[in-house]
């Protein structure tokens, strides 16, 4: 993933997170969302993961650039609940 974020508070720390559903067909319609995460009562068979991706100190111009990769099976940045990975 490469993401350029703008209009942020200079000097603050802003994090990026992966949110993955391995079986999106098991999410509630119309699409996967926060209600489909295990901590919110979502279907565990959807195999959701929320994983830390990156964090940046916002530049003086209010921008942050994230360049990060998530490998298959990588659950090293799991947060809140056990992650299935991708």
Q: From first to last of its 86 residues, what are the pLDDT tens digits of the chain? A: 999 999 999 999 999 999 999 999 999 999 999 999 988 999 999 999 888 999 999 999 999 999 999 988 888 887 767 777 78
Residues 6+ apart with CB under 8 A from 65: 2, 3, 4, 5, 56
pTM of the model: 0.80
CB count in 10 Å sphere of residue 33? 13
């Amino acid at each position: 993933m490469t993401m350029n974020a703008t209009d942020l508070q200079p000097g603050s720390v802003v994090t990026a997170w992966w949110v993955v559903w391995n079986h999106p067909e098991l999410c509630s319609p119309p699409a996967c969302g926060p209600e489909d995460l295990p901590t919110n009562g979502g279907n565990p068979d959807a195999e959701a993961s929320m994983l830390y991706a990156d964090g940046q100190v916002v530049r003086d111009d209010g921008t942050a650039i994230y360049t990060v990769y998530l490998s298959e099976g990588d659950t090293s940045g799991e947060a809140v609940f056990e992650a299935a990975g991708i």
